[in-house]
Structure 1
Amino acid sequence: MSKLPIDVPKEKLQQIRIDMFRKVQREKRAKKRIVSVAIASLFCLSLLFSIRVSPTIASHIAKIPGFEALVLAVGRDKGIKDIVDSDYYEEINVKQSKNGLSLTLQGVIGDNTGLVLYYDADATFDMSKLHLEKVQLFQGDEEIKGGGSFTNKQSSQTPFSSSVNYSFSEPFAYTSKNFKVVFHFYEKDKGNIEITIPFSLQNEIAKEKIITANRTVDVNGQKFTITQIRRSPLRTAIDIELDKANTMQILEFEDIAVETENGERREGIKYGLSLGGDIRDGKFTLKLQSNYFHDSDSLKILIGAVHAVPKGEDFIEVDFGTKEVLTKPDYLDWDIFVTQQGVAVAAKKWDDRTRHSFLNNAVKADGSKLKYTSGSFSDDEQYLYATENFENYDGKAKIYLNYYFNPIGKNIELNIPMQ
């Protein structure tokens, strides 16, 4: 079957990222809310427990302000479900309003790896053109650097429920339990709307559980070492080091999961940052759903596949000025097209995956980093489409592959003692 032509349909290449959270919001949200936020908060935890019993009940609860974002998180992440079951989720229920926009900070989950803030919004005006531009989080008077991830635009005109996720590369020190979050919204008619919500944590912060592993794995001559496993309520982190003598650049550990003795399985984080650090630096962290509240004598690490390509043949070169692909590896069978300020890819599907980021790490001709700004993804029956966008730049750049389907090893299992 012949490849797609270079002029991949523009609407496919430019389609914005649509994640599961927004999809469920659009399909499930009722036009009218029949239960007030105040009533919802009174029954929050008791109703959440019914999610485990009845998905139907969960879908109805998700339509109540203040529940939707948390219910969605519980449904897609077993670690969040454990947090709710173990009473580690902390209800805040603080409301602030400005210029016709009302925000309620419903609750928080915090540990030394991150903070997740769940909130809902309502307004006296049509919110379909409301954008969340920025979120600032302060501990005491000091701003927490790094920024949180969030959905910046909702597709509905009705009240919505969402979350802000802060992921820390280094263990976070709770020197104070007094915080404030500042939401920066923009609406065409209202202009800038800034809402500040102070809150305090009451719960003790759970301590990280660290397991020293030091297990080296050889996959067709390419070695990596699992140095340690760190478990917190929000995620399980697997620290990995690549052997410097490897002749291939490992790009991805696919379908990685951990499994306890009783068969309790936790997979990679699908809706959020799943990789800590840069795999090309040789030291990085894979983040999985947490099994913090489950104890066992051993832990099994499962790796579906390890993908790698030859070192020195793991990048393409483009010229953003002439919009040309200058060089690419001989094995790379993608259609690649240089856009105004990005690179568009059409790659043949290899499984039922519906989207993938292929090229998001770039350097300019002078060796300085070319900043990645955004990505858009779509697919059809035969191809995956991705457009990776970078900061304004009209020169030559080297863009490294962060994924290519080339498994050098499959179905790897490692048993790690927990003590």
Structure 2
Amino acid sequence: MTEFNQQKYENLLQKVPIDTLQQDAQLQAFRRYKKQKQRKKRFGQVMLITACFMLLFIGSIRIFPSFAHAVAQIPSMQPLVKMIVLDKGMKDIVLHDYLEKINLSQTVHDKTLTITNVVADEYGMLISYKLQSATDLFDVQGVQSEVTHDNERIQGSIIADWWMQSKHTYEVENSIQISTYGGLDYSSKDFELMFVVDDSTFKIPFTLKNEIKKSKHYPINQQVTVDGQHFTIHELIISPIQSRLKMSVDPSNTKKILSFEDIRLYDENGEEWGKIHNGFTMHGNIEEQFSIMLESNYFRIPKSLIIKFTKIEAIDRKDTTIIADFDKKQIVSPPSSLPMEVTIRDHYAIEYSFATAQEDYEEISYYLVDAKGDIYYSSSSWLGPQQFMQSFEGEPLSPATIVISSFEQYLNGVEEIHVELK
């Protein structure tokens, strides 16, 4: 039975690449899975918004000739419509003709993949594609994708949108999003998309010809305080696809900030640009320096902005990790300020009981790091309105730590700063 050594454990935990995990697509996928109930609720809202948008969209085509002309140049509209519904910056991209048509296809077995168009900036890409199949796509559970540049995989995060299809679906239009922290290299504009669906692997090379517009940088360097917790906004970077706020938190804060759920930009006319809803929301380590992604107003830079912070997720630092000893079936360091009780069960299972009923228990996200530094994700089962249990595949070596990456608890207060753009 392994004895618990606090100092040894802390030294080991420091070596675990937690910051890498926070920006890793695997962890983002895990957090999306934990919030699937919330996503289902939003789905109906999105469908309603989409319907309303389409009416407005058709009206815009009739009323605004420039918008109608821009739309007419797009070979496949469905992925773009989805983007515009959730990201107002995409409409500007269409209006300013910053969408590059590609229209390259490849057929493998009974499927044909077409890259229809690409939007690229210094930090990322949006690749729209069409997948046609002779067999029903209803059974496809997901796809894999990768983009290479000069035969090297792009070092960034990638999301290949894929929703479960209805029966008798033989054609799907969707998009792939690539986002980087340090930027993309366009010294060569030759890329290749690798796309895997079932037993079909596509490799389609493509070359970008359009000019890649340079990002606009606005130094800010202002400290913000909310509920006694401090953080600094260093810079606003506005690119065609996204804007990003480069930020850092004060290491002496008494609480650990888990996420900035709601940040919004307002121009001098009151027009709003919010946080990204359909892609990457953050890059970097929130304990050091990181970037929050926002909608882009690249093609209509205002004279001034108000940056408003209204919903910051945070918990006491001492409760961000919970030490568990599976051998002794004991929680070595239980949370002291979170409204829940944690208990070890058989077969490496952990039960959580909340003091008050939670509407959605998925609002807590976590993963586990064992004594060797191995990372474990879990599957969860709901036990009741105030209880759920998580279990792990394998046998984590004790002592292990449960790392809380999301908990629906927020700082009190709203703060805003004013920025003049020169």
TM-score category (smaller protein): 0.7 to 0.9
Equivalent residue number for residue 207 of structure 2: 200
User: Given the superposition, is the C-alpha separation of residues 273 and 221 from structure 1 closer, same or farther in structure 2, using an over 3 Å criterion?
Assistant: same
- Are the counterparts in 2 of residues 111 and 232 from structure 1 also a CA contact under 8 Å? yes
Equivalent residue number for residue 94 of structure 2: 84
Equivalent residue number for residue 268 of structure 1: 275
Asked whether 1:169 is paired with 2:181, we answer yes
Asked whether 1:225 is paired with 2:237, we answer no
**Equivalent residue for 2:375, pick from 356, 363, 370:** 370
Shift of the alpha carbon at 1:311? 2.0
For residue 179 of structure 2, what is the amino acid of its counterpart?
S
Equivalent residue number for residue 34 of structure 1: none
Shift of the alpha carbon at 1:327? 4.0
Comparing 116-125 and 242-251, the one that deviates more:
242-251
- Are the counterparts in 2 of residues 249 and 309 from structure 1 also a CA contact under 8 Å? yes
SS of equivalent to 1:148: strand
Equivalent residue number for residue 101 of structure 1: 111
Equivalent residue number for residue 308 of structure 1: 314
Asked whether 1:136 is paired with 2:136, we answer no
User: Given the superposition, is the C-alpha separation of residues 246 and 222 from structure 1 closer, same or farther in structure 2, using an over 3 Å criterion?
Assistant: same
User: Given the superposition, is the C-alpha separation of residues 325 and 107 from structure 1 closer, same or farther in structure 2, using an over 3 Å criterion?
Assistant: farther
Shift of the alpha carbon at 1:113? 1.3
- Are the counterparts in 1 of residues 334 and 341 from structure 2 also a CA contact under 8 Å? no
Shift of the alpha carbon at 1:124? 0.9
For residue 363 of structure 1, what is the amino acid of its counterpart?
V
Shift of the alpha carbon at 1:400? 2.5
For residue 275 of structure 2, what is the amino acid of its counterpart?
G
User: Given the superposition, is the C-alpha separation of residues 73 and 377 from structure 1 closer, same or farther in structure 2, using an over 3 Å criterion?
Assistant: farther
Comparing 237-246 and 130-139, the one that deviates more:
130-139
For residue 178 of structure 1, what is the amino acid of its counterpart?
D
User: Given the superposition, is the C-alpha separation of residues 177 and 409 from structure 1 closer, same or farther in structure 2, using an over 3 Å criterion?
Assistant: same
Shift of the alpha carbon at 1:210? 0.8
User: Given the superposition, is the C-alpha separation of residues 51 and 327 from structure 1 closer, same or farther in structure 2, using an over 3 Å criterion?
Assistant: farther
User: What whole-Å deviation, never above 9, does each CA across 1:241-290 have from its counterpart, x for those lacking one?
Assistant: 111222222222231111111222111112222111121x2322111111
**In structure 2, C-alpha distance between the alignment counterparts of 1:69 and 1:387, rounded to whole Å:** 38
What is the correspondence of 1:41-120 to structure 2 with a 5 Å cutoff? 50=58, 52=60, 66-120=76-130
Asked whether 1:409 is paired with 2:415, we answer no
Asked whether 1:249 is paired with 2:249, we answer no
Shift of the alpha carbon at 1:329? 1.2
User: Given the superposition, is the C-alpha separation of residues 403 and 202 from structure 1 closer, same or farther in structure 2, using an over 3 Å criterion?
Assistant: same
**Equivalent residue for 1:299, pick from 297, 302, 305:** 305
**In structure 2, C-alpha distance between the alignment counterparts of 1:111 and 1:79, rounded to whole Å:** 13
User: Given the superposition, is the C-alpha separation of residues 151 and 246 from structure 1 closer, same or farther in structure 2, using an over 3 Å criterion?
Assistant: same
- Are the counterparts in 1 of residues 268 and 302 from structure 2 also a CA contact under 8 Å? yes
**In structure 2, C-alpha distance between the alignment counterparts of 1:85 and 1:341, rounded to whole Å:** 55
- Are the counterparts in 2 of residues 94 and 199 from structure 1 also a CA contact under 8 Å? yes
Give 1 or 2: higher helix fraction: 2
Comparing 296-305 and 144-153, the one that deviates more:
144-153
Equivalent residue number for residue 402 of structure 2: 399
What is the correspondence of 1:21-60 to structure 2 with a 5 Å cutoff? 23=43, 50=58, 52=60
**In structure 2, C-alpha distance between the alignment counterparts of 1:160 and 1:325, rounded to whole Å:** 48
For residue 412 of structure 1, what is the amino acid of its counterpart?
E
**CA-atom RMSD in angstroms:** 4.0
Comparing 134-143 and 265-274, the one that deviates more:
134-143
User: Given the superposition, is the C-alpha separation of residues 128 and 408 from structure 1 closer, same or farther in structure 2, using an over 3 Å criterion?
Assistant: closer
User: Given the superposition, is the C-alpha separation of residues 393 and 68 from structure 1 closer, same or farther in structure 2, using an over 3 Å criterion?
Assistant: farther
- Are the counterparts in 2 of residues 248 and 310 from structure 1 also a CA contact under 8 Å? yes
**In structure 1, C-alpha distance between the alignment counterparts of 2:94 and 2:380, rounded to whole Å:** 33
**In structure 2, C-alpha distance between the alignment counterparts of 1:389 and 1:275, rounded to whole Å:** 28
SS of equivalent to 1:199: strand
Structure 2: 5+ residue runs without aligned partners?
1-32, 49-54, 63-67
Shift of the alpha carbon at 1:321? 7.0
User: Given the superposition, is the C-alpha separation of residues 118 and 370 from structure 1 closer, same or farther in structure 2, using an over 3 Å criterion?
Assistant: same
**In structure 2, C-alpha distance between the alignment counterparts of 1:76 and 1:89, rounded to whole Å:** 18
SS of equivalent to 1:395: coil
User: What whole-Å deviation, never above 9, does each CA across 1:109-128 have from its counterpart, x for those lacking one?
Assistant: 11111111111111111222
Equivalent residue number for residue 22 of structure 2: none
Q: How many pairs are equivalent? A: 369
**In structure 2, C-alpha distance between the alignment counterparts of 1:14 and 1:274, rounded to whole Å:** 16
**In structure 1, C-alpha distance between the alignment counterparts of 2:129 and 2:276, rounded to whole Å:** 21
User: Given the superposition, is the C-alpha separation of residues 218 and 131 from structure 1 closer, same or farther in structure 2, using an over 3 Å criterion?
Assistant: closer
SS of equivalent to 1:119: strand
SS of equivalent to 2:224: strand
Equivalent residue number for residue 36 of structure 1: none
User: What whole-Å deviation, never above 9, does each CA across 1:300-343 have from its counterpart, x for those lacking one?
Assistant: 10111333322222222345678875543132224667797886
- Are the counterparts in 2 of residues 94 and 105 from structure 1 also a CA contact under 8 Å? yes
**In structure 1, C-alpha distance between the alignment counterparts of 2:220 and 2:187, rounded to whole Å:** 30
**In structure 2, C-alpha distance between the alignment counterparts of 1:196 and 1:50, rounded to whole Å:** 35
**In structure 1, C-alpha distance between the alignment counterparts of 2:390 and 2:195, rounded to whole Å:** 27
User: What whole-Å deviation, never above 9, does each CA across 1:182-237 have from its counterpart, x for those lacking one?
Assistant: 11121xxxxx2111222221211111111110101122332111111111111111
**In structure 2, C-alpha distance between the alignment counterparts of 1:266 and 1:386, rounded to whole Å:** 37
Shift of the alpha carbon at 1:133? 4.2
Equivalent residue number for residue 323 of structure 2: 317
